[in-house]
Chain A
Amino acid sequence: MAAASKIDPMHQFQIEGLSGQLSGAPFVFTNSALWMMIVLGAILLFMWGGMKREIVPGRWQAAVEGLVGFVTGLAMTNIGKEGRAYVPWIFTVFVFILFSNYMGLMPFGIVEAAHPFTVTSQFTVTGLLAVISFGIVLIVGIAKHGLKFFSLFVPHGTPIGLMPLIVPIEIISFMVRPFSLALRLFVAMIAGHILVEVFGNFMVQGLNAHSALGVFVWAISFIFVLGVNALELLVCGIQAYVFALLTSLYINDAVHLH
Protein backbone atom coordinates (compact mmCIF):
# COMPACT_ATOMS: atom_id res chain seq x y z
CA MET A 1 0.00 0.00 0.00
CA ALA A 2 2.90 2.32 0.80
CA ALA A 3 4.37 1.70 -2.61
CA ALA A 4 1.05 2.34 -4.33
CA SER A 5 0.59 5.69 -2.61
CA LYS A 6 3.99 6.89 -3.77
CA ILE A 7 3.70 9.40 -6.53
CA ASP A 8 4.33 7.70 -9.85
CA PRO A 9 2.88 10.09 -12.41
CA MET A 10 4.51 8.15 -15.24
CA HIS A 11 2.62 4.96 -14.50
CA GLN A 12 -0.30 6.18 -16.59
CA PHE A 13 1.89 6.08 -19.67
CA GLN A 14 2.93 2.47 -19.05
CA ILE A 15 1.96 0.13 -21.85
CA GLU A 16 0.86 -3.32 -20.75
CA GLY A 17 0.27 -6.37 -22.84
CA LEU A 18 -3.34 -7.50 -22.75
CA SER A 19 -2.92 -10.51 -25.06
CA GLY A 20 0.26 -11.71 -23.40
CA GLN A 21 3.65 -10.37 -22.37
CA LEU A 22 5.14 -7.48 -24.30
CA SER A 23 7.56 -9.11 -26.64
CA GLY A 24 8.43 -6.51 -29.20
CA ALA A 25 6.24 -8.27 -31.75
CA PRO A 26 3.73 -6.21 -33.76
CA PHE A 27 0.54 -8.13 -33.01
CA VAL A 28 0.56 -7.93 -29.20
CA PHE A 29 -2.68 -6.32 -28.15
CA THR A 30 -1.92 -3.72 -25.49
CA ASN A 31 -3.85 -1.24 -23.40
CA SER A 32 -2.62 1.37 -25.90
CA ALA A 33 -4.10 -0.62 -28.77
CA LEU A 34 -7.30 -1.09 -26.79
CA TRP A 35 -7.68 2.67 -26.36
CA MET A 36 -6.94 3.22 -30.03
CA MET A 37 -9.83 0.86 -30.73
CA ILE A 38 -12.02 2.74 -28.25
CA VAL A 39 -11.10 6.04 -29.93
CA LEU A 40 -11.83 4.48 -33.31
CA GLY A 41 -15.17 3.21 -32.01
CA ALA A 42 -16.06 6.65 -30.67
CA ILE A 43 -15.18 8.25 -34.00
CA LEU A 44 -17.19 5.66 -35.93
CA LEU A 45 -20.15 6.13 -33.60
CA PHE A 46 -19.94 9.90 -33.91
CA MET A 47 -19.70 9.84 -37.69
CA TRP A 48 -22.39 7.19 -38.02
CA GLY A 49 -24.76 9.44 -36.10
CA GLY A 50 -24.22 12.12 -38.72
CA MET A 51 -25.05 9.91 -41.69
CA LYS A 52 -28.81 10.36 -41.60
CA ARG A 53 -28.35 12.73 -44.53
CA GLU A 54 -31.49 14.71 -43.90
CA ILE A 55 -32.07 17.95 -45.69
CA VAL A 56 -32.80 19.64 -42.36
CA PRO A 57 -30.09 18.35 -40.03
CA GLY A 58 -30.65 17.34 -36.43
CA ARG A 59 -28.18 18.29 -33.71
CA TRP A 60 -25.96 15.26 -34.20
CA GLN A 61 -25.91 15.58 -37.96
CA ALA A 62 -25.21 19.30 -37.63
CA ALA A 63 -22.26 18.52 -35.32
CA VAL A 64 -20.79 16.00 -37.78
CA GLU A 65 -21.35 18.36 -40.71
CA GLY A 66 -19.75 21.13 -38.66
CA LEU A 67 -16.66 18.99 -38.03
CA VAL A 68 -16.42 17.98 -41.69
CA GLY A 69 -16.96 21.57 -42.81
CA PHE A 70 -14.32 22.78 -40.36
CA VAL A 71 -11.65 20.37 -41.62
CA THR A 72 -12.58 20.93 -45.28
CA GLY A 73 -12.45 24.67 -44.73
CA LEU A 74 -9.06 24.35 -43.04
CA ALA A 75 -7.66 22.41 -45.99
CA MET A 76 -9.24 24.63 -48.63
CA THR A 77 -8.18 27.95 -47.09
CA ASN A 78 -4.59 26.82 -46.52
CA ILE A 79 -3.98 24.77 -49.65
CA GLY A 80 -6.52 26.20 -52.07
CA LYS A 81 -8.67 24.18 -54.42
CA GLU A 82 -6.03 21.42 -54.64
CA GLY A 83 -6.65 21.01 -50.92
CA ARG A 84 -9.61 18.72 -51.54
CA ALA A 85 -7.28 15.82 -52.28
CA TYR A 86 -5.68 16.15 -48.85
CA VAL A 87 -8.89 16.55 -46.84
CA PRO A 88 -9.06 12.81 -45.97
CA TRP A 89 -5.62 12.77 -44.37
CA ILE A 90 -6.05 16.10 -42.56
CA PHE A 91 -9.43 14.88 -41.35
CA THR A 92 -7.91 11.58 -40.19
CA VAL A 93 -5.17 13.37 -38.27
CA PHE A 94 -7.48 15.97 -36.74
CA VAL A 95 -10.22 13.59 -35.69
CA PHE A 96 -7.89 10.92 -34.35
CA ILE A 97 -5.87 13.39 -32.27
CA LEU A 98 -8.98 15.22 -31.07
CA PHE A 99 -10.76 12.06 -29.95
CA SER A 100 -7.60 10.56 -28.44
CA ASN A 101 -6.88 13.72 -26.46
CA TYR A 102 -10.39 13.99 -25.09
CA MET A 103 -10.68 10.25 -24.51
CA GLY A 104 -7.58 10.52 -22.32
CA LEU A 105 -9.29 13.19 -20.21
CA MET A 106 -12.46 11.18 -19.60
CA PRO A 107 -13.04 10.55 -15.89
CA PHE A 108 -13.36 6.79 -16.38
CA GLY A 109 -10.58 6.45 -13.80
CA ILE A 110 -13.11 6.45 -10.95
CA VAL A 111 -13.27 2.76 -11.83
CA GLU A 112 -9.63 1.81 -11.47
CA ALA A 113 -9.51 -0.72 -14.27
CA ALA A 114 -11.03 1.76 -16.72
CA HIS A 115 -8.34 4.44 -16.30
CA PRO A 116 -8.09 6.00 -19.74
CA PHE A 117 -4.91 5.69 -21.70
CA THR A 118 -3.97 8.73 -23.77
CA VAL A 119 -2.53 7.31 -26.98
CA THR A 120 -1.33 10.75 -28.08
CA SER A 121 0.99 10.83 -25.04
CA GLN A 122 3.10 8.17 -26.80
CA PHE A 123 5.70 9.56 -29.16
CA THR A 124 5.51 6.33 -31.12
CA VAL A 125 1.96 7.46 -32.01
CA THR A 126 2.56 11.16 -32.55
CA GLY A 127 5.79 10.29 -34.34
CA LEU A 128 4.06 8.04 -36.86
CA LEU A 129 1.40 10.69 -37.48
CA ALA A 130 4.12 13.29 -38.06
CA VAL A 131 6.15 10.98 -40.28
CA ILE A 132 3.13 10.24 -42.47
CA SER A 133 2.33 13.96 -42.75
CA PHE A 134 5.97 14.72 -43.58
CA GLY A 135 6.08 11.81 -46.01
CA ILE A 136 3.02 13.19 -47.83
CA VAL A 137 4.77 16.56 -48.07
CA LEU A 138 7.93 14.98 -49.52
CA ILE A 139 6.11 12.69 -51.95
CA VAL A 140 3.68 15.35 -53.15
CA GLY A 141 6.44 17.95 -53.44
CA ILE A 142 8.80 15.79 -55.43
CA ALA A 143 6.05 14.23 -57.55
CA LYS A 144 4.63 17.66 -58.43
CA HIS A 145 7.82 19.68 -58.87
CA GLY A 146 10.67 17.18 -59.20
CA LEU A 147 14.00 18.68 -58.25
CA LYS A 148 12.47 22.15 -58.26
CA PHE A 149 10.91 21.14 -54.95
CA PHE A 150 14.26 21.87 -53.30
CA SER A 151 13.91 25.53 -54.28
CA LEU A 152 11.75 25.53 -51.17
CA PHE A 153 14.99 26.04 -49.29
CA VAL A 154 15.73 29.26 -51.16
CA PRO A 155 13.22 31.91 -50.13
CA HIS A 156 12.25 34.51 -52.71
CA GLY A 157 14.54 37.52 -52.94
CA THR A 158 17.38 36.07 -50.92
CA PRO A 159 20.61 37.93 -51.72
CA ILE A 160 23.26 35.63 -53.16
CA GLY A 161 25.62 36.57 -50.36
CA LEU A 162 23.26 35.30 -47.72
CA MET A 163 22.63 31.97 -49.47
CA PRO A 164 25.23 29.99 -47.48
CA LEU A 165 23.50 31.13 -44.31
CA ILE A 166 19.82 31.03 -45.32
CA VAL A 167 19.78 27.71 -47.17
CA PRO A 168 21.13 25.58 -44.30
CA ILE A 169 18.71 27.30 -41.92
CA GLU A 170 15.82 26.55 -44.27
CA ILE A 171 16.94 22.94 -44.67
CA ILE A 172 17.23 22.46 -40.92
CA SER A 173 13.87 24.10 -40.25
CA PHE A 174 12.35 21.84 -42.90
CA MET A 175 13.91 18.70 -41.48
CA VAL A 176 12.86 19.63 -37.95
CA ARG A 177 9.20 19.76 -38.99
CA PRO A 178 8.27 16.12 -38.26
CA PHE A 179 10.00 16.27 -34.88
CA SER A 180 8.35 19.53 -33.89
CA LEU A 181 4.99 18.18 -35.05
CA ALA A 182 5.35 14.98 -33.04
CA LEU A 183 6.98 16.46 -29.95
CA ARG A 184 4.59 19.42 -29.62
CA LEU A 185 1.59 17.13 -29.29
CA PHE A 186 3.39 14.51 -27.22
CA VAL A 187 4.80 17.05 -24.75
CA ALA A 188 1.54 18.97 -24.43
CA MET A 189 -0.32 15.77 -23.58
CA ILE A 190 2.24 14.28 -21.23
CA ALA A 191 2.81 17.55 -19.34
CA GLY A 192 -0.86 18.11 -18.64
CA HIS A 193 -1.42 14.54 -17.54
CA ILE A 194 1.61 14.57 -15.22
CA LEU A 195 0.40 17.82 -13.63
CA VAL A 196 -3.07 16.43 -13.03
CA GLU A 197 -1.62 13.20 -11.64
CA VAL A 198 0.88 14.93 -9.34
CA PHE A 199 -1.61 17.36 -7.87
CA GLY A 200 -4.24 14.64 -7.65
CA ASN A 201 -1.76 12.74 -5.49
CA PHE A 202 -1.19 15.87 -3.39
CA MET A 203 -4.94 15.97 -2.77
CA VAL A 204 -4.99 12.37 -1.60
CA GLN A 205 -1.94 12.81 0.61
CA GLY A 206 -3.25 16.08 2.01
CA LEU A 207 -6.47 14.39 3.12
CA ASN A 208 -4.60 11.40 4.47
CA ALA A 209 -2.43 13.69 6.64
CA HIS A 210 -5.43 14.44 8.90
CA SER A 211 -4.12 17.89 9.77
CA ALA A 212 -5.06 21.51 9.09
CA LEU A 213 -2.06 21.85 6.79
CA GLY A 214 -3.17 18.72 4.95
CA VAL A 215 -6.62 20.18 4.29
CA PHE A 216 -5.00 23.39 3.09
CA VAL A 217 -2.77 21.45 0.70
CA TRP A 218 -5.83 19.51 -0.47
CA ALA A 219 -7.80 22.70 -1.14
CA ILE A 220 -4.96 24.38 -3.04
CA SER A 221 -4.30 21.23 -5.06
CA PHE A 222 -7.98 20.82 -5.82
CA ILE A 223 -8.21 24.32 -7.24
CA PHE A 224 -5.03 23.69 -9.19
CA VAL A 225 -6.28 20.40 -10.61
CA LEU A 226 -9.51 22.12 -11.57
CA GLY A 227 -7.57 24.80 -13.41
CA VAL A 228 -5.22 22.36 -15.12
CA ASN A 229 -8.15 20.24 -16.25
CA ALA A 230 -9.85 23.28 -17.73
CA LEU A 231 -6.60 24.15 -19.47
CA GLU A 232 -6.29 20.56 -20.69
CA LEU A 233 -9.73 20.74 -22.27
CA LEU A 234 -8.48 23.74 -24.19
CA VAL A 235 -5.08 22.25 -25.06
CA CYS A 236 -6.64 19.01 -26.35
CA GLY A 237 -8.61 20.92 -28.97
CA ILE A 238 -5.81 23.33 -29.76
CA GLN A 239 -3.19 20.61 -30.24
CA ALA A 240 -5.44 18.69 -32.62
CA TYR A 241 -6.08 21.92 -34.51
CA VAL A 242 -2.40 22.87 -34.57
CA PHE A 243 -1.38 19.46 -35.88
CA ALA A 244 -3.98 19.60 -38.64
CA LEU A 245 -3.20 23.23 -39.43
CA LEU A 246 0.57 22.65 -39.68
CA THR A 247 0.01 19.53 -41.77
CA SER A 248 -2.08 21.55 -44.22
CA LEU A 249 0.46 24.40 -44.24
CA TYR A 250 3.30 21.99 -44.98
CA ILE A 251 1.26 20.33 -47.73
CA ASN A 252 0.59 23.82 -49.09
CA ASP A 253 4.36 24.37 -49.26
CA ALA A 254 4.71 21.14 -51.17
CA VAL A 255 1.86 21.94 -53.56
CA HIS A 256 2.68 25.57 -54.25
CA LEU A 257 6.37 26.01 -53.28
CA HIS A 258 5.81 29.24 -51.30
Chain B
Amino acid sequence: MPQLTQLALVYQSQLFWLLLTLAVIYFGIARQMLPKIEKVVDDRNARIQGDLTAAAVARDAANAAETTAQAADHAAREQAQALAAKAKADATMHTEGLLAKADAAIAVQLATAEASLAAARAAALNSLETVAAEAAQDIVAKVSGAQVSAADAASAVKAVLAHG
Protein backbone atom coordinates (compact mmCIF):
# COMPACT_ATOMS: atom_id res chain seq x y z
CA MET B 1 0.00 0.00 0.00
CA PRO B 2 1.77 3.17 -1.18
CA GLN B 3 0.02 5.18 1.52
CA LEU B 4 2.05 3.24 4.10
CA THR B 5 5.27 2.61 2.25
CA GLN B 6 5.62 6.21 1.14
CA LEU B 7 4.41 7.73 4.38
CA ALA B 8 7.75 8.99 5.62
CA LEU B 9 8.62 10.40 2.22
CA VAL B 10 5.40 12.25 1.48
CA TYR B 11 3.60 13.20 4.67
CA GLN B 12 5.22 16.61 4.99
CA SER B 13 4.45 17.52 1.43
CA GLN B 14 0.93 16.12 1.74
CA LEU B 15 0.22 18.10 4.89
CA PHE B 16 1.73 21.28 3.49
CA TRP B 17 -0.25 21.26 0.25
CA LEU B 18 -3.42 20.11 1.95
CA LEU B 19 -3.17 22.86 4.55
CA LEU B 20 -2.61 25.35 1.76
CA THR B 21 -5.67 24.08 -0.14
CA LEU B 22 -7.84 24.03 2.97
CA ALA B 23 -6.69 27.49 3.95
CA VAL B 24 -7.71 28.85 0.56
CA ILE B 25 -11.09 27.13 0.77
CA TYR B 26 -11.65 28.16 4.39
CA PHE B 27 -10.48 31.77 4.26
CA GLY B 28 -11.09 32.50 0.61
CA ILE B 29 -14.36 30.74 -0.04
CA ALA B 30 -16.05 29.78 3.20
CA ARG B 31 -15.29 33.05 5.00
CA GLN B 32 -15.43 35.46 2.07
CA MET B 33 -17.85 34.14 -0.54
CA LEU B 34 -20.23 32.17 1.66
CA PRO B 35 -21.62 35.14 3.63
CA LYS B 36 -22.22 37.01 0.37
CA ILE B 37 -24.10 34.08 -1.12
CA GLU B 38 -26.09 33.68 2.08
CA LYS B 39 -26.86 37.39 2.05
CA VAL B 40 -28.20 37.11 -1.50
CA VAL B 41 -30.44 34.23 -0.42
CA ASP B 42 -31.56 36.07 2.71
CA ASP B 43 -32.25 39.26 0.75
CA ARG B 44 -34.30 37.29 -1.75
CA ASN B 45 -36.26 35.59 1.01
CA ALA B 46 -36.80 38.92 2.75
CA ARG B 47 -38.01 40.45 -0.48
CA ILE B 48 -40.38 37.57 -1.16
CA GLN B 49 -41.64 37.84 2.41
CA GLY B 50 -42.05 41.59 2.02
CA ASP B 51 -43.98 41.17 -1.22
CA LEU B 52 -46.20 38.58 0.41
CA THR B 53 -46.81 40.87 3.39
CA ALA B 54 -47.63 43.80 1.07
CA ALA B 55 -50.02 41.59 -0.86
CA ALA B 56 -51.69 40.47 2.37
CA VAL B 57 -52.04 44.10 3.51
CA ALA B 58 -53.54 45.08 0.16
CA ARG B 59 -55.94 42.13 0.31
CA ASP B 60 -57.00 43.11 3.84
CA ALA B 61 -57.55 46.72 2.72
CA ALA B 62 -59.64 45.52 -0.22
CA ASN B 63 -61.68 43.30 2.09
CA ALA B 64 -62.20 46.19 4.53
CA ALA B 65 -63.28 48.50 1.69
CA GLU B 66 -65.71 45.88 0.46
CA THR B 67 -67.16 45.47 3.96
CA THR B 68 -67.55 49.24 4.31
CA ALA B 69 -69.25 49.48 0.94
CA GLN B 70 -71.58 46.67 1.83
CA ALA B 71 -72.41 48.29 5.16
CA ALA B 72 -73.13 51.62 3.44
CA ASP B 73 -75.27 49.86 0.87
CA HIS B 74 -77.12 48.09 3.63
CA ALA B 75 -77.67 51.31 5.59
CA ALA B 76 -78.95 53.13 2.50
CA ARG B 77 -81.32 50.29 1.76
CA GLU B 78 -82.64 50.35 5.34
CA GLN B 79 -83.09 54.11 5.20
CA ALA B 80 -85.01 53.83 1.95
CA GLN B 81 -87.20 51.11 3.42
CA ALA B 82 -87.89 53.23 6.51
CA LEU B 83 -88.83 56.23 4.34
CA ALA B 84 -91.14 54.10 2.24
CA ALA B 85 -92.78 52.63 5.34
CA LYS B 86 -93.24 56.09 6.85
CA ALA B 87 -94.81 57.44 3.66
CA LYS B 88 -97.12 54.45 3.54
CA ALA B 89 -98.13 54.96 7.19
CA ASP B 90 -98.73 58.68 6.61
CA ALA B 91 -100.89 57.95 3.60
CA THR B 92 -102.88 55.39 5.55
CA MET B 93 -103.35 57.80 8.46
CA HIS B 94 -104.45 60.58 6.13
CA THR B 95 -106.96 58.30 4.39
CA GLU B 96 -108.27 57.10 7.73
CA GLY B 97 -108.70 60.66 8.94
CA LEU B 98 -110.65 61.61 5.84
CA LEU B 99 -112.77 58.50 6.18
CA ALA B 100 -113.49 59.22 9.85
CA LYS B 101 -114.45 62.80 9.07
CA ALA B 102 -116.74 61.65 6.29
CA ASP B 103 -118.21 58.99 8.58
CA ALA B 104 -118.89 61.55 11.26
CA ALA B 105 -120.55 63.92 8.80
CA ILE B 106 -122.65 61.09 7.47
CA ALA B 107 -123.57 60.06 11.01
CA VAL B 108 -124.62 63.61 11.83
CA GLN B 109 -126.76 63.80 8.68
CA LEU B 110 -128.20 60.40 9.48
CA ALA B 111 -129.09 61.47 13.01
CA THR B 112 -130.69 64.67 11.77
CA ALA B 113 -132.67 62.79 9.19
CA GLU B 114 -133.76 60.22 11.73
CA ALA B 115 -134.79 62.95 14.16
CA SER B 116 -136.83 64.78 11.57
CA LEU B 117 -138.32 61.46 10.49
CA ALA B 118 -139.31 60.70 14.06
CA ALA B 119 -140.79 64.20 14.47
CA ALA B 120 -142.71 63.79 11.25
CA ARG B 121 -143.91 60.44 12.38
CA ALA B 122 -144.96 61.78 15.76
CA ALA B 123 -146.76 64.67 14.07
CA ALA B 124 -148.46 62.23 11.72
CA LEU B 125 -149.53 60.08 14.66
CA ASN B 126 -150.84 63.18 16.48
CA SER B 127 -152.83 64.29 13.52
CA LEU B 128 -154.12 60.75 13.14
CA GLU B 129 -155.43 60.91 16.75
CA THR B 130 -157.10 64.21 16.11
CA VAL B 131 -158.67 62.88 12.89
CA ALA B 132 -159.79 59.71 14.74
CA ALA B 133 -161.28 61.75 17.59
CA GLU B 134 -163.19 63.98 15.19
CA ALA B 135 -164.35 60.89 13.30
CA ALA B 136 -165.38 59.28 16.59
CA GLN B 137 -167.28 62.47 17.61
CA ASP B 138 -169.10 62.50 14.27
CA ILE B 139 -169.81 58.78 14.44
CA VAL B 140 -171.18 59.09 17.99
CA ALA B 141 -173.26 62.13 16.97
CA LYS B 142 -174.66 60.33 13.95
CA VAL B 143 -175.27 57.01 15.68
CA SER B 144 -176.58 58.23 19.03
CA GLY B 145 -177.12 61.84 18.47
CA ALA B 146 -175.22 62.53 21.63
CA GLN B 147 -172.85 65.37 21.62
CA VAL B 148 -169.46 64.25 22.78
CA SER B 149 -166.94 66.87 23.60
CA ALA B 150 -163.75 66.86 21.65
CA ALA B 151 -161.72 66.15 24.79
CA ASP B 152 -163.75 63.04 25.63
CA ALA B 153 -163.47 61.80 22.10
CA ALA B 154 -159.73 62.36 22.15
CA SER B 155 -159.24 60.49 25.41
CA ALA B 156 -161.43 57.66 24.18
CA VAL B 157 -159.41 57.41 20.97
CA LYS B 158 -156.19 57.53 22.96
CA ALA B 159 -157.42 54.68 25.15
CA VAL B 160 -158.39 52.62 22.16
CA LEU B 161 -155.07 53.36 20.42
CA ALA B 162 -153.19 52.46 23.56
CA HIS B 163 -155.00 49.14 23.85
CA GLY B 164 -155.30 48.20 20.38
* Interface pick from A24-32, A151-159, A217-225: A24-32
**C-alpha spacing A18/B14, complex, angstroms:** 13
Q: Which residues of B contact A124 (CB under 8 A)?
A: 3, 7, 10-11, 14-15, 18
The residues of B that contact A30 with a CB separation of less than 8 Å are: 10, 13-14, 17
- Min distance, Cβ A34 to any Cβ of chain B, angstroms: 9
Question: Interface readout for B22-41 with A: 1 if CB under 8 Å, 0 if not?
Answer: 10111011110110111011
Q: Would you call the interface of chain B mostly helix, strand, loop, or mixed?
A: helix
At the interface with chain B, which of A84-92, A101-109, A137-145, A240-248? A84-92
* Contact yes or no, B25 A32, CB < 8 A: no
When A65-B37, A68-B41, A128-B19 are in contact, do A33 and B13 touch as well, CB less than 8 Å?
Answer: yes
A92 touches B22 (CB 8 A): yes
Q: Does chain B have a CB within 8 A of A149?
A: no
Does B3 contact A123, Cβ atoms closer than 8 Å? yes
Whether B34 lies near A36 (C-beta < 8 A) is: no
Does A252 interact with chain B (Cβ within 8 Å)?
no
A28 contacts across to B, CB distance below 8 A: 10, 13
Closest to A99 in B: B25
Report the minimal beta-carbon distance from B50 to chain A, rounded to whole angstroms. Answer: 12
A43 on interface, CB distance cutoff 8 Å: yes
* Neighbouring A residues of B47 by C-beta, 8 Å: 55
| Contact pattern, B 57-100, Cβ under 8 Å of A = 1, otherwise 0 | 00000000000000000000000000000000000000000000
Is there an interface contact between B34 and A22, defined as CB atoms closer than 8 Å?
no
A89 to B40, CA, bound (A): 21
Q: Is B10 a contact partner of A87 (Cβ separation < 8 A)?
A: no
A166 at the interface (CB under 8 A from B): no
Quick one: which of A1-42 are within 8 Å of B by CB? 10-11, 13-15, 22-30, 32-33, 36-37, 39-40
**Lowest 9 A-B CB distances belong to which pairs?**
A88-B30, A33-B17, A26-B16, A26-B12, A124-B14, A22-B9, A36-B21, A28-B13, A14-B2
Could you jot down 21 A-B contacts, CB within 8 Å? Answer: A10-B1, A13-B1, A15-B9, A25-B13, A28-B13, A30-B17, A32-B17, A33-B14, A44-B28, A47-B33, A51-B36, A55-B43, A55-B44, A55-B47, A57-B40, A65-B37, A91-B34, A95-B25, A96-B21, A122-B14, A129-B22
Residues of B within 8 A of A (CB): 1-3, 6-22, 24-26, 28-31, 33-34, 36-38, 40-41, 43-44, 47
